[in-house]
Every structure is written in C-alpha cells, then in structure tokens.
Structure 1
Amino acid sequence: MAVISSAKDSVLVVTYQVGLNELGAPILRQRSFPNVLVGASDQDVFEVANALYALQQYPLTAVRRDNRFELVDQGA
C-alpha cells in the first residue's frame, strides 16, 4: 500500500495578548487566517503576521502555520 501526500492548504494561526487577568497572568486569544498559499515561504508568512499585528493594539505572542495534506492510497 503506497500512500501519496499532496499539499491542500495552509493556515496562519496567531496568538496575541489582550490584557492581564486579576493575578497578572496574560490573557491570550488566537485567530486563524485561512487560504495561505501553500508555496509561500515560512519567512514570508511570519513577516505578514508581524506586519498585521504591528497595526493592532494587541501584541503578538506566537505565530504558527498549519499545513494540511491530503493522503491518497495509490493501491485503491
């Protein structure tokens, strides 16, 4: 059974801080940006996230890229 994987899509996920709770711990939120070009470099995706959040009032704390692949059984 040979399985072939092909890139389907990519999602940019950012985590940002919206404030502090009563104990002083950060309050974090996440936002996803779908439809990132599969061929875009990780560096470009990171720079876009930083550029977007430079325009926001909340500081960016983490940047993640989720790549999704379709797996197909070539024996079927």
Structure 2
Amino acid sequence: MLVNGFDVFFDFNAAGFLTSYLNIPISLGLYLSYKLIKRTRIWKPEEMDFVTGIPTLEETETPEVPPKNVWERIAGVIF
C-alpha cells in the first residue's frame, strides 16, 4: 500500500495521490475501529501457536490408486 502510487510524486496531481493513498487511512480506521468495538487485543509473537492443530503428513496423505487401464498407466508415467 505504501509504494502503490509512488510515481504520483514525480508528476504530482491531487487526484492521483488520493486514489493511490486513500486506502491507507481507510484500512487503519477499519482495523482500529474493529479492535475498539470488539475489544480484542494484539497478540505478541511469543503468544502465537503455529503448531497445535496442524495435521501430520501421514494424516493428509492420500493412498496412491493403481492405474486401471493402459491410458491411466501412460498418464501416470507422463504426469
């Protein structure tokens, strides 16, 4: 968002500046109003959990289905 319309500074016009940089205060206003209305807090990086609830590779892996005919064998070799 910060470098979206950087070229407007070389050939400055108000319309280009507003369309390029108006989204920054709108985004900040929406974020801060959500935080104030819902009374949520900002988490510190040490408090975040990126491990719990993630399935292992064995849980997400699907078994390979053997080919049924010659065309599926050819497609299996190609792809």
Q: TM-score, normalised by structure 1?
A: 0.22
Highest relative contact order (Cα 8 Å, sep 6+), 1 or 2? 1
Which structure has the highest helix share of the two? Answer: 2
Q: TM-score, normalised by structure 2?
A: 0.22
Which structure has the highest strand share of the two? Answer: 1
The structure with more radius of gyration: 2
